[in-house]
Amino acid sequence: MPSLVVIGAQWGDEGKGKLVDYLTSGADWVARFQGGNNAGHTLVVDGIKTKLQLVPSGILREQTRCVIGAGVVVDPTVLLAEMGSLRGAGLTLSPERLTIDRDAHLILPYHVAIDLAREAKAGKNKIGTTGRGIGPAYEDRAARCGVRFADLFALPELKERLTDLLKQKNDYLTKVLGGEPVDFALVWSAVETAARELRPYTGNVSLLLDGALKSGAKVVFEGAQGTLLDQTHGTVPFVTSSHTVAGAATTGCGVGAKYLDHVLGVAKAYCTRVGSGPFPTIMEESVAHQVREKGAEYGTVTGRPRACGWFDAVAMRRAVRLNGIDSVAITKLDVLSGFDKIKVCVKYVLDGREIDDVPSLASEVDRIKPHYIEFDGWQSDFAGVKKWHHLPAEVRFYLTTVGEIIGAPVTIASVGAERESTIFSSGASFVRNFVQIPEEA
As a whole number of Å, the CA-based R_g of the chain is 22
- Give kind and range of the element (H or E) at residue 81: helix 76-88
Q: Which of 272, 255, 157, 129 is nearest to 204 (CA)?
A: 255
Partnered with residue 74 across adjacent β-strands are: 106
The number of angstroms, rounded, from the C-alpha of 194 to the middle of its chain's C-alpha atoms is 24
Return the beta strands (E) in 223-364 as ranges. Answer: 262-268, 270-273, 307-312, 327-331, 341-350, 353-355
CB contact burial 300-320 (16+ within 10 A = b; e otherwise): bbbeeebbbbbbbbbbbbbbb
- H/E stretch holding 29 reads strand 29-32
Query: Which residues belong to the active site?
Result: 13, 41
Element (H, E) at 51: strand 48-52
Go through 158-196 and write b for each residue having 16 or more CB atoms within 10 A of its CB, e for each that does not: beeebeebbeebbebbeeebebeebebeebbebbeebbe
Dihedral angle computed from the Cα positions of residues 153, 198, 222 and 23, in that order, rounded to the nearest 10 degrees: 140
Which segments of 174-280 does DSSP mark as H helices, in order? 184-198, 205-214, 248-253
Candidates 6, 36, 10; CA nearest to 21 is: 6
The Cα 263–Cα 6 span in angstroms is 6
Helix, strand, coil percentages (3-state) for the chain, rounded to 5, are: 40, 20, 40
